[in-house]
């Protein structure tokens, strides 16, 4: 055969063919079948090469194939079921792959044939003897070699033939066979195979030693098991038999009064445990499973408190405000008084941080006389956290729901699902999907934990979830819950919470008595106004805690016997006020308007600035704005142009900026604010500095309603605004607000942008 030739090619997955061997392989790709047919129709020669990635089923490239293959002679091809062709070939030469070309229906390979150099008779004899000795060493070490193969190898007297036959007949991986195929020099190939056989002999010796050690351990365990069973029989004959774990499990099973399905499962598992040797790892898994199911409170429950008056007193004692939450709990108790059985409500408290969502759940548990258990869902991204792991896995355990039930010790606790909007998900599953069954009153009576393998009744559990932002809760999950808004606190509510709850709480935490530490009412109000700006009361509690620490220091140091915080000495202990009323910039300006925004941590004011410059009508937006707010800006520009003069801004650039560019801003309620700022900049008229506004805008100038009105009005009040412009469709929301929020602030209702300009633009 020529040194270089072109012939049909077949690429094999996970298989290497060596010269001087006869093998068969199956093919199903149309290109491979056509290549074999072409070989059979010509000189029967075919080039066979292995793919680098055995799982690759896409088109072949030179880089996806091994660099060395085998030139084989096709002897037979047979069609077998499922469109597969079985081909019988005989390897003849090593061949280097120089290139491939895709023909109409097959691949063609450009190959260079490698011919082995001739060895002397003495070399052939020495090399073959070394190879046969190495093979016999592997056989003696325990390598699985058929003696017939050794006899066949002994008859081969040519080194190149013997190497290839050894690699084919002995149980080597196709990667090692490919390594031998890649070696062109016969002596290098010999050294590689001898080293490989020596390595396999050492591995076989080590494996043989390990098997002997394992056999000794098994025999020892078996002997111990027989002796233990004999000891058990002797104790029974002598009447000294102790109560076994099996009997204890059976006794507990009779006491727990579990459902029939659970009893059958436990009875079967206990019977199975009795047949498993105690030293077996399976025994540990089975015991853990039985003990977990016996620990679960299948039939233990607490009696609900049905006294509405007492429950109301407890709720009012522990929390100030939160009227909607309290009303809903009292309604639940009233229904329970009328109907003994019924699905418990699934309530979701949504509001800014620090507004008492988590703490009110504990008070509800006390008020209704339920055991309280809390599950934190923040950052949970594995579905097994909710549903548990299969008990067959190493380290398997029940999910958080079942674990919380066992911790509560009853089947009707109050279960708090904290931070349900912070759930995550990854390749291990979506925990929010697992919660769908938990929070569905129609399905949770048959909730299945993967570890338990039997259904759990959660219908008597009272679920309360908390979240900061309802929009972050998956929609199917949100649909299963009753949303109760826990809005921001007013200054008066913060004052009462601090005076009636927080001060006493921090006194106890810091070891102070009432006579040792006191805060005047005016000082509390000053802390709220000048040291905190938040929707909840966490910062307020931290400031009170700081004062308590100062009291501990002066009392423990012997400087004073008590500390009384007044308006005058407050800054001495808390430092310079962080927020001062004089910081409010209420000056009327051109192109600057104060808007109102809602965030997950409460309301906030938003200053929007507009500048007009000579240019080509380009619009520039800065301030880290989201897509919704960018669209609002574009609508506002179009609205102003259509309202005033279609040619304005045609030869001018407009720049809209929202200060604090590092803070992301987005939302659908800045339309009228941006439009007013643009109108002011275009007409060079000032906008009142003591007026704030919120509302979305259409191209025709209509003002659309918005959400989060209470938080926005509180932010406006805290910023010193005298008037607030809101959409007329939000008038119904104003009626639900307390007078404390509205006092000292006038609400202006608008339905069109021109009404906004009429109220906000300074009249000259």
Q: Is the Cβ–Cβ distance between 16 and 173 less than 8 Å?
A: no
Q: Which two tokens stand for residue 701?
A: 């100038």
The CA-atom distances, in angstroms, between 275 and each of 14, 510, 625 are 44, 59, 68
Q: Is 669 a catalytic residue?
A: yes
Give the separation between CA 74 and CA 91, rounded to whole angstroms.
Answer: 9
Give the separation between CA 673 and CA 695, rounded to whole angstroms.
Answer: 8
The candidate with the shortest Cα–Cα distance to 363, out of 311, 415, 420, is: 311
CA Rg, the chain, in Å? 41
Helices 671-683, 627-643: inter-axial angle, 10-degree rounding: 40
The candidate with the shortest Cα–Cα distance to 658, out of 693, 709, 620, 612, is: 620
Task: Compute the Cα dihedral for 163, 166, 169, 170 and give only its sign.
Answer: negative
Q: Are strands 45-50 and 602-614 parallel, antiparallel or unpaired?
A: unpaired
Neighbours of 618 (CB within 10 A): 11
Residue by residue, what is the 3-state secondary structure of 662-709?
Answer: CCCECCCCCHHHHHHHHHHHHHCCEECCCEEECCEECCCCEEECCCCH
Give the separation between CA 613 and CA 322, rounded to whole angstroms.
Answer: 51
Most distant CA atoms of the chain, gap in Å: 118
| Cα angle 593, 598, 604; round to 5 | 55
SS3 of 528, please?
Answer: helix
SS3 of 466, please?
Answer: strand
Tell the burial category of 682 from Cβ atoms under 10 Å away from its Cβ (0-12, 13-18, 19+): buried
Task: Compute the Cα dihedral for 268, 269, 270, 274 and give only its sign.
Answer: positive
Q: Is the Cβ–Cβ distance between 634 and 619 less than 8 Å?
A: yes
Helices 260-273, 281-295: inter-axial angle, 10-degree rounding: 150
Tell the burial category of 316 from Cβ atoms under 10 Å away from its Cβ (0-12, 13-18, 19+): middle
Give the separation between CA 710 and CA 735, rounded to whole angstroms.
Answer: 11
Give the separation between CA 416 and CA 439, rounded to whole angstroms.
Answer: 12
Candidate list 326, 494, 712, 717, residue with the active-site label: 712
SS3 of 183, please?
Answer: coil
The CA-atom distances, in angstroms, between 346 and each of 74, 424, 482, 509 are 73, 21, 6, 33
Q: Are strands 414-418 and 462-467 parallel, antiparallel or unpaired?
A: parallel
Q: Is the Cβ–Cβ distance between 432 and 421 less than 8 Å?
A: no
Q: Is the Cβ–Cβ distance between 35 and 107 less than 8 Å?
A: yes
Q: Are strands 592-599 and 602-614 parallel, antiparallel or unpaired?
A: antiparallel
Candidate list 669, 680, 686, 710, residue with the active-site label: 669
Residue 639 dihedral angles phi and psi, to the nearest 5°: -65, -45
Residue for token pair 């960018």: 630
Which residues contact residue 1 at a Cβ distance below 8 angstroms, ignoring those fewer than 6 apart?
Answer: 45, 71, 93, 113
Q: Which two tokens stand for residue 300?
A: 């233990």
Catalytic residue ranges: 669, 712
């Amino acid at each position: 055969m020529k040194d270089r030739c072109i012939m049909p090619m077949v690429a094999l997955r996970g298989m290497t063919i060596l010269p001087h061997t006869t093998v068969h392989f199956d093919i199903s790709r149309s290109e491979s079948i056509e290549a074999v047919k072409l070989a059979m129709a010509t000189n029967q020669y075919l080039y066979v090469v292995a793919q680098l990635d055995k799982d690759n089923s896409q088109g072949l490239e030179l880089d996806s194939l091994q660099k060395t293959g085998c030139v084989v002679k096709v002897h037979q091809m047979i069609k077998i079921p499922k469109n597969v062709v079985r081909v019988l070939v005989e390897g003849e030469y090593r061949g280097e792959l120089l290139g491939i070309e895709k023909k109409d229906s097959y691949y063609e390979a450009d190959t260079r044939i490698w011919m082995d150099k001739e060895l002397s008779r003495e070399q052939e004899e020495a090399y073959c003897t070394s190879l046969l000795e190495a093979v016999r060493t592997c056989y003696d070490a325990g390598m699985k070699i058929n003696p017939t193969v050794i006899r066949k190898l002994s008859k081969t007297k040519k080194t190149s033939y013997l190497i290839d036959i050894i690699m084919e007949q002995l149980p080597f991986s196709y990667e090692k066979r490919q390594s031998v195929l890649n070696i062109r020099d016969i002596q290098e190939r010999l050294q590689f195979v001898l080293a490989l056989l020596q390595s396999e002999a050492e591995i076989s010796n080590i494996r043989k030693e390990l098997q002997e050690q394992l056999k000794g351990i098994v025999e020892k365990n078996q002997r111990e098991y027989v002796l233990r069973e004999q000891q058990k029989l002797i104790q029974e004959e002598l009447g000294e038999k102790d109560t076994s774990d099996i009997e204890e499990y059976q006794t507990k099973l009779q006491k727990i009064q579990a459902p029939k399905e659970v009893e059958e499962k436990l009875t079967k598992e206990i019977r199975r445990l009795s047949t498993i040797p105690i030293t077996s790892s399976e025994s540990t898994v089975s015991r853990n499973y039985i003990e977990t199911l016996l620990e679960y409170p299948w039939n233990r429950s607490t009696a609900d408190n049905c006294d509405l008056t007492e429950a109301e007193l407890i709720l009012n004692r522990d929390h100030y405000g939160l009227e909607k939450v309290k009303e809903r709990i009292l309604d639940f108790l009233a229904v329970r008084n009328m109907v003994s059985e019924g699905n418990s409500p699934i309530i979701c408290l949504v509001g800014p941080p620090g507004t008492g969502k988590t703490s009110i759940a504990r008070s509800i548990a006390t008020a209704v006389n339920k055991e309280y258990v809390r599950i934190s869902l923040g950052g949970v991204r594995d579905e097994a956290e909710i549903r548990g792991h299969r008990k067959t896995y190493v380290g398997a355990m029940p999910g958080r729901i079942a674990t919380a039930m066992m911790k509560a010790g009853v089947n009707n606790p109050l279960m708090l699902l904290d931070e349900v909007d912070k759930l995550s998900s990854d390749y291990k599953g979506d925990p929010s999907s697992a919660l769908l069954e938990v929070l569905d009153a129609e399905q949770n009576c048959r909730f299945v934990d993967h570890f338990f393998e039997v259904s759990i009744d959660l219908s008597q559990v009272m679920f309360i979830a908390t979240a900061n932002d309802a929009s972050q809760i998956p929609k199917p999950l949100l649909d299963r819950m009753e949303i109760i808004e826990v809005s921001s606190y007013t200054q008066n509510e913060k004052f009462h919470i601090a005076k009636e709850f927080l001060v006493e709480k921090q006194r106890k935490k810091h070891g102070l008595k009432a006579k040792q530490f006191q805060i005047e009412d005016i000082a509390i109000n000053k802390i709220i106004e000048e040291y905190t700006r938040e929707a909840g009361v966490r910062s307020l509690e931290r400031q009170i805690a700081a004062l308590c620490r100062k009291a501990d220091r002066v009392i423990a140091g012997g400087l004073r016997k008590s500390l009384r915080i007044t308006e005058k000495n407050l800054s001495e202990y808390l430092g310079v006020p962080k927020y001062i009323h004089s910081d409010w910039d209420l000056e009327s300006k051109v192109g600057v308007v104060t808007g109102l925004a809602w965030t997950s941590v409460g309301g906030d004011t938003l200053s929007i600035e507009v500048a007009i410059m000579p240019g080509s009508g380009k619009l520039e937006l800065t301030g880290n704005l989201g897509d919704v707010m960018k669209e609002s800006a574009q609508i506002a520009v179009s609205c102003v142009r259509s309202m005033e003069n279609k040619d304005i801004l045609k030869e001018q650039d407009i720049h809209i900026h929202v200060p604090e560019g590092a803070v992301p801003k987005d939302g659908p309620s800045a339309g009228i604010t941006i439009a007013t700022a643009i109108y002011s900049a275009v007409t060079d008229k000032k906008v009142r500095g003591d007026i704030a506004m919120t509302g979305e805008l259409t191209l025709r100038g209509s003002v659309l309603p918005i959400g989060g009105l209470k938080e926005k009005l509180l932010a406006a009040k805290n910023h010193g605004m005298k008037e607030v412009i809101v959409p007329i469709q939000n008038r119904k929301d104003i009626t639900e607000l307390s007078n404390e929020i509205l006092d000292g602030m006038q609400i202006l209702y608008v339905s069109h942008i021109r009404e906004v300009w009429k109220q906000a633009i300074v009249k000259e």
